[in-house]
Amino acid sequence: MTYYPLNDFGPVMKGMVIGGLGIFHVFLAQFAIGGGMLMCYLQWLAMRRPKVTSPAIDPHSQLFRAFLDSYFKTLVLISFVLGALTGVAMWFTTIQVSARTIGVMVDEFHWIWATEWTFFCLEIVSGYTFYRYGKGLTDRARMTLLVLYSIAAWFSLFWINGILSWQLTPALGQPGSLWANFFNPSFWPSLFFRTVVSMTIAALAGCVVVNTMSEIGREERTVLINRMAHFLGAMVVMPLLAWWYFSVIPADSRQWVMGGSIAMTLFFMVSAGASLLIGGYAVMALIKQRLYINGATATLLLALAFAATGGGEFVREGVRKPYTIRGALYSNSIVPDEVAHLRNVGLTTDDPYPLRDAQAYPNNQLRLGAMVFRDQCSVCHTMDGANALVHLAGSWTLDQKRLNFAKLQHLKTFMPPFVGNAHELEAVVQLVTWNADNRPTDWPDTSQTAPFTEIERYLEQAGTGSGLSTLPPHTNSADRLTRAATGPQ
Ligand code: HEC
């Protein structure tokens, strides 16, 4: 077992720190991708001749150009600046929460990340060049830059999508094959789905931008909004793509969404409901009736798109539990194959990192409990903040806690099995009880008196495997990943 220092974010659950930031980042990044496509479309509209025989260009040509420049300014400000900042922040937080997961991902996809970054650089350079010089360039040169920008932006999605989708559906049966893992079962549905989402966000942002342009009149705005509606039309394939996605992910992950986990189901419904509202509005009002859309409505729709993205990302991250890399690494950075060994030697025995505020605990057993909690539970639970153990188990008797903590993976199959020995388990039980009792300064140490034979029996019964019944066989095939996670011995 390799240990890394972990940060503590107080009452905020660690998983939520990454998730919350991730939602912003994904939304902004997808805006940048869809925005590129939308601007290519506008530039094409500005350049085209409506009839092949007519030498005249589109009467709205100048309007499209003006809108494009206005749109691009928003895109640069919001997406370049905030998108890049949140992107860096993602790296910064993931290494504090799950260094091992990131380690395996970097190890497995080293050159893919590098490739992704070159595309990102191209995106920034072409985008910035357009921003700085776009107005003075010929139509052709403008188009070239925009196409370059869009391709680069879309391809950074392409590369990153392979890595993210792999976390849920790794091709564990084919060790050694980078491309089998990259083009994993959920690669294509999630790539197409995200592309359509990007177009949706871009078009809705476009509707907001149209309404901020004071220099154009209502009629011109309507022309532009009708164009945005064309882009929104892509949403009709979303249900199909979602169905495709859900049909390729593992059955247990699908079950969380279909009622197996209330939180997952709710977030999925928020996401699907918000998408349906946007899609319904786009089809009924914008496309069929060619309605105008004002700034407030456009902003509301964009907020709905944000909710849809948030719900969707939450579900995508959530259904992977209890893994960050399915079958190969648990959410708490413990490799499945290590569990049996750590049951014997103890989880914290080799943990070199000192406990924060060690003097705040009245005895050594509670300190041990705090270490076990930190190493094993804290990625998904806090003690008394979000998803708090005190709220979930505070009212249980000592024996209920012992039994249930020993059988975590059966209690809720999205939890990994308990890792560590009976003494460590008892220490967490005491820690939760002490916290539920409002942390008195005096607390009995039960490390001689607790029913350890009983606890060992509970652990024995629970076994060391995951609680999922539909898990792919990970032994052998996941060996390579296990090696990557365990590092050089
Ligand atoms: C992969 C994330 C994850 C890890 C790691 C994890 N849990 Fe959980 N646990 C959850 C989730 C999610 C719930 C469901 C919370 C709810 O129902 O509101 C939960 C629920 C619980 C419950 C309540 C179960 C019930 O049936 O009411 C207990 C007790 C619990 N966890 C204890 C622990 C302990 C102790 C650890 C560490 C040894 C741990 N968990 C590690 C995700 C995790």
For ligand 1, what atom is nearest to the CA of residue 411?
A: 26
Number of C-beta neighbours around residue 149 at 10 A? 29
For 44-75, the pLDDT digits (tens) are 999 987 666 666 777 888 999 999 999 998 88
Report the separation in Å between the CA atom of 323 and the middle of ligand 1, taken as the mean of its atom positions: 13
How far is 41 from 126, CA to CA, in rounded Å? 17
Give the phi and the psi of residue 306 in degrees, each rounded to 5: -65, -45
Of 222, 311, 300, 208, which Cα lies nearest the Cα of 264?
311
Ligand 1 neighbours, Cβ below 6 Å, are: 321-322, 331-332, 376-377, 379-381, 387, 389, 392-393, 404-405, 408, 411-412, 414-416, 418, 428
Q: Closest ligand 1 atom, CA of 393?
A: 29
CA of 165 to the centre of ligand 1 (A): 25
Mutation probe of ligand 1 site: the residue of 382, 407, 412 with most atoms within 8 A of C-beta: 412
pLDDT at 345: 96
Which numbered atom of ligand 1 lies nearest the CA of 414? 1
pLDDT at 411: 93
| 128 close to 98: Cβ distance less than 8 angstroms | no
pLDDT, position 489 = 38
CA distances (Å), origin 55, targets 17, 41, 44, 51, 63? 56, 20, 16, 8, 18
Site to substitute for ligand 1 among 100, 343, 381, 428, most atoms within 8 A of C-beta: 381
Query: Do residues 401 and 466 lie in contact, with contact meaning Cβ atoms separated by under 8 Å?
Result: no
Distance 330 CA to ligand 1 centre (A): 13
293 CA from centroid of ligand 1 (Å): 45
Residue 177 is predicted with a pLDDT of 82
End-to-end CA distance of the chain: 10
**Cβ neighbours for 277, distance < 8 A, ≥ 6 positions apart:** 304
Residues in the chain with pLDDT < 70? 50-55, 172-176, 469-489
Structural domain boundaries in the chain: 14-168+187-248+250-318, 336-486
| Residue nearest ligand 1's atom 1 by CA | 322
pLDDT for 413-442, tens place per residue?
889 999 999 999 999 999 999 999 999 999
Single out the residue of 75, 82, 86 nearest to residue 131, CA to CA.
75
Task: Compute the distance between CA of residue 235 and CA of residue 278 in angstroms, rounded to an integer.
Answer: 9
What is the Å distance from ligand 1's center to 68 Cα? 49
Residue type, 21: L
Residues 6+ positions from 25 with CB-CB distance below 8 Å = 83, 86, 87, 89, 90
CA 268 to ligand 1 centroid distance, Å: 20
How far is ligand 1, taken at its centre, from the CA of residue 381, in Å?
7
- Ligand 1 centre to CA of 187 (Å) is 30
Which pLDDT belongs to residue 483?
57
Give a three-class secondary structure readout of 188-203.
HHHHHHHHHHHHHHHH
Handedness of CA 136, 142, 144, 145 (dihedral sign): positive
**What was the pLDDT predicted at 481?**
57
CA of 388 to the centre of ligand 1 (A): 9
| 464 CA distance to ligand 1 middle (Å) | 17
DSSP character string of 400-461: HHHHHHHTHHHHSTTSPPP-S-HHHHHHHHHHHHHHHTT--S-----TTTS-HHHHHHHHHH
Residue with CA nearest ligand 1 atom 27: 392
Q: Say which DSSP state 382 is in.
A: B
- Helix, strand and coil content of the chain, in percent to the nearest 5, comes to 70, 0, 30
Q: Are 55 and 49 in contact (CB under 8 A)?
A: yes
At residue 388, the 3 state secondary structure works out as: strand
Residue nearest (by alpha carbon) to ligand 1 atom 38: 377
Residues 481/104, Cβ–Cβ less than 8 Å: yes
Of 262, 267, 373, 377, the one to substitute when testing ligand 1's pocket (max ligand atoms within 8 A of C-beta) is 377
So what's the pLDDT on residue 176? 61
Q: How many CA atoms lie within 13 A of 409 on its CB side?
A: 24
Q: Which helix (H) or strand (E) is 262 found in, with range?
A: helix 262-281
Ligand 1 atom with the smallest distance to the CA of 321 is 1
7: left (phi over 0), alpha (psi -120 to 50) or beta: beta
Which residue puts its alpha carbon closest to atom 15 of ligand 1? Answer: 387
Q: Give the CATH fold of the 14-168+187-248+250-318 domain.
A: Formate dehydrogenase/DMSO reductase fold (1.20.1630)
Residue 407 CA to ligand 1 center (angstroms) comes to 11
Atom of ligand 1 nearest to the CA of 420: 38
The pLDDT, as a whole number, for residue 474 is 45
